[in-house]
Structure 1
């Protein structure tokens, strides 16, 4: 059908899709056009990632590399892929440890939550509430056994470690780590957290 002669052109800039009644679903993340990289679905709403900081980039790289090398056979570490919690929630942890058989294809974009052993979030300025409050509740509800939260405190990494309590179905704190992180669960990890700080800070006299 020919457009009316007096039709106004679309306004400049990106054209965001209007959500359907009831909001977006987990499957929509793979089909919606022009979504920014690392878009998440939280409670049927799209959540866009802010520009990444050096701290965030280094933390994600350090954890994904170290966990990939230290994980026992049958487990694999993957950075920044979404996980299916339910129809309305498809968050993207910064790093996950999954069963190796969950990795089915190089084109894969998501993992079922039941295949995830550990979810790690590196907190950004825009994600504080989501990473401290919203996502842990959803990860616990999905029965992900372990959750780690990495925060930047004055240029130094602090890691908050949580484990799922079967009796309550909620996470319980099992440790807070500065400078060095050493845990035995879900498998042995011994990590120098000072590697995340900037080179200038690391070179300063102590």
Structure 2
């Protein structure tokens, strides 16, 4: 059985083949028929699997809570790409960015200097990327704050990291269960047990 039939396409289907040296951040806007939420990591296209209800509810909780608390000089985005360099354009689940970071309504990406906080909710298909690859790349690009969110007994457990500018690497500043209470990058107070409540 061919791969084409496995994916429900005809034998004559032309699979997308990367150029020599891999895809670039600019290619992501030009390639036709990419699935939603396609990321670029190390010049390779990464297709996102269908997300779980935990993933969706966690993103919704963090997005709405941050929107309620963010000061005027910042804004909150969800599932929006950031061009880290020529071959890396990931899509964090939630972002806090400088207000006015985008230059127009047709923008499709941000730059790392506009991002204050990147949040990744770990999924089964992205464990290594969310725990190792993306944090390393976000830190190298100078993004000051990173949260990694893991499922912990059906609730979000939030691992909070802050950038050490001297080493361009993240240091763990806290692990939060039930309640996320921080003073940086601005005062934040999120009831993590509210994940299952409707807003």
Normalised to the residue count of structure 2, the TM-score between the two structures is 0.91
Higher radius of gyration, 1 or 2: 1
1:186 aligned partner: 185
Give the 3 Å change call, closer, same or farther, for CA 15–37 of structure 1 in structure 2.
Answer: farther
Alpha-carbon distance in structure 2 between the residues aligned to 1:88 and 1:111? 15
The question of 1:141 aligning with 2:140 is answered yes
2:173 aligned partner: 174
1:119 aligned partner: 118
The question of 1:150 aligning with 2:149 is answered yes
Alpha-carbon distance in structure 2 between the residues aligned to 1:43 and 1:186? 29
2:24 aligned partner: 25
2:5 aligned partner: none
Alpha-carbon distance in structure 2 between the residues aligned to 1:147 and 1:14? 40
TM-superposed CA distance for 1:198, in Å, is 7.7
TM-superposed CA distance for 1:103, in Å, is 2.5
TM-superposed CA distance for 1:157, in Å, is 1.1
Describe the SS at the equivalent of 2:167: coil
Task: Spell out, residue by residue over 1:143-169, the C-alpha distance to the aligned partner (whole angstroms, 9 max, x if none).
Answer: 000000111123121000000012221
The residue correspondences of 1:1-206 to structure 2 (distance < 5 A) are 11-12=10-11, 15-197=14-196
The answer to whether the Cα contact below 8 Å between 1:155 and 1:197 also exists between their aligned partners in 2 is no
RMSD: 1.6
Alpha-carbon distance in structure 2 between the residues aligned to 1:106 and 1:152? 34
Task: Spell out, residue by residue over 1:128-150, the C-alpha distance to the aligned partner (whole angstroms, 9 max, x if none).
Answer: 11010000000000000000011
- Bigger Cα displacement from structure 2, 10-19 vs 188-197: 10-19
The answer to whether the Cα contact below 8 Å between 1:157 and 1:197 also exists between their aligned partners in 2 is no
TM-superposed CA distance for 1:11, in Å, is 2.7
TM-superposed CA distance for 1:12, in Å, is 5.0
Alpha-carbon distance in structure 1 between the residues aligned to 2:114 and 2:151? 29
In structure 1, runs of 5+ residues without a counterpart are 1-9, 200-206
